[in-house]
Amino acid sequence: MSVVVKLEDVHKSFGLVEVLRGVSFEVSAGEVVAIIGRSGSGKSTALRCINRLEKIQSGSIEVCGRRVEAPDLDLRALRQDVGIVFQSYNLFPHLTVEENIVLAPRRVKNVKGAEAHALARTALEQVGLSDKIDAYPEQLSGGQQQRVAIARSLAMSPKVMLFDEVTSALDPELTGEVLRVMEKLAKGGMTMIMVTHEMGFARRAADRVIYMHTGKVWETGTGAMLGSPQTPELKNFLANEL
């Protein structure tokens, strides 16, 4: 299977604080990888380095055959291949749901008129929100906003999707609807890297789980690894999560 994302010995510091201390992992096409770990272990930073929201100090990151750390990287081409969804949705509040979704396809891919409208409809169907196409973000629940954010990303047809604790800001009764959308995407063959605190979900939906600790990949395995942790750190972490 072809490798979509590959990190090799990635080091990242903020000032004097080294947040990623030699992170390496690979994600193949169609694979769903969950990253778990304590607060501050560098999970978000790792994701943000993948689409170069943060620059790394050393090591290498390859996404769809592109070297992310290369000085001549075509940043906008990279960002078209990589979709990212944040904990705080970050929808554009002055635009309707449809406008949120078609803004980037219009500007970046020059999609027009009826085609753009169809694109929005398709993306919204995927997240089960067809009836909200004309709503403004402030008229939606947190769970609905997050699903629109996912649809907005999907409309750019990314090759890999990154999710950073997308359910952490939601009430428990709303997390289910978002997780279901993500599971459906995973089943549909989307390559996904998701940082999550939902252990049950990680176990169920992920092909592979990566446990990060103090800026390193500490332990990695299938979802079953969560049932039989090898390191005391992961054991400890899981005990605190449940």
Partner 1 sequence: MNGGFSLYYFYYLLEGMGWTVVLSALAFVVGGAAGFIVMLARISRSAALRRLVFVYVQIVQGTPLLIILFVVYFGLGIFGVEMPPLFAAGLSLMIYCSAFLGEIWRGCVEAVPRTQTEAAECLALTRWQTLRDVVLPQAARIATPPTVGFLVQVLKSTSLASVVGFVELTRAAQVINNSTFQPFLIFGIAGLLYFALCYPLSIWSRALERRLNVSRRQA
Ligand X SMILES: Nc1ncnc2c1ncn2[C@@H]1O[C@H](COP(=O)(O)OP(=O)(O)OP(=O)(O)O)[C@@H](O)[C@H]1O
Least Å from the CB of residue 53 to partner 1: 7
By CB under 8 A, residue 206 contacts partner 1:
no
Closer residue to Mg ion (CB): 48 or 132: 48
Q: Are 209 and 203 in contact (CB under 8 A)?
A: yes
Burial of 73 (0-12, 13-18, 19+ CB in 10 A): middle
Interface pick for Mg ion out of 12, 27, 44, 229 (rule CB under 5 A): 44
By CB under 6 A, residue 57 contacts ligand X:
no
Residue closest to Mg ion, measured at CB: 44
70 binds, among ligand X, partner 1, Mg ion, none (CB under 5 to 8 A by kind): none
Interface pick for partner 1 out of 1, 72, 94, 110 (rule CB under 8 A): 94
By CB under 8 A, residue 138 contacts partner 1:
yes
Burial of 117 (0-12, 13-18, 19+ CB in 10 A): middle
Closest CA to 234 of 215, 212, 207: 212
- Segment interacting with ligand X (CB under 6 A) among 39-47, 125-133, 169-177, 224-232: 39-47
Q: Which two tokens stand for residue 139?
A: 């008229």
| Angle of helix 142-154 versus helix 172-187 axis, rounded to 10 | 20
Q: How far is CA 46 from CA 136, 189, 220, 229, in A?
A: 32, 23, 15, 22
**β-strand pairing of 208-213 with 216-221:** antiparallel
Closer residue to ligand X (CB): 40 or 200: 40
Q: Which two tokens stand for residue 72?
A: 């001549």
- Residues in contact with Mg ion, counted by CB under 5 A, come to a total of 1
- The footprint of partner 1 (CB under 8 A) covers 51, 53, 76-77, 79-80, 82-84, 86, 88, 90-94, 103-104, 107-108, 137-138, 152-153, 156
Residue numbers at the binding site for ligand X (CB under 6 A): 14, 19, 37, 39-45
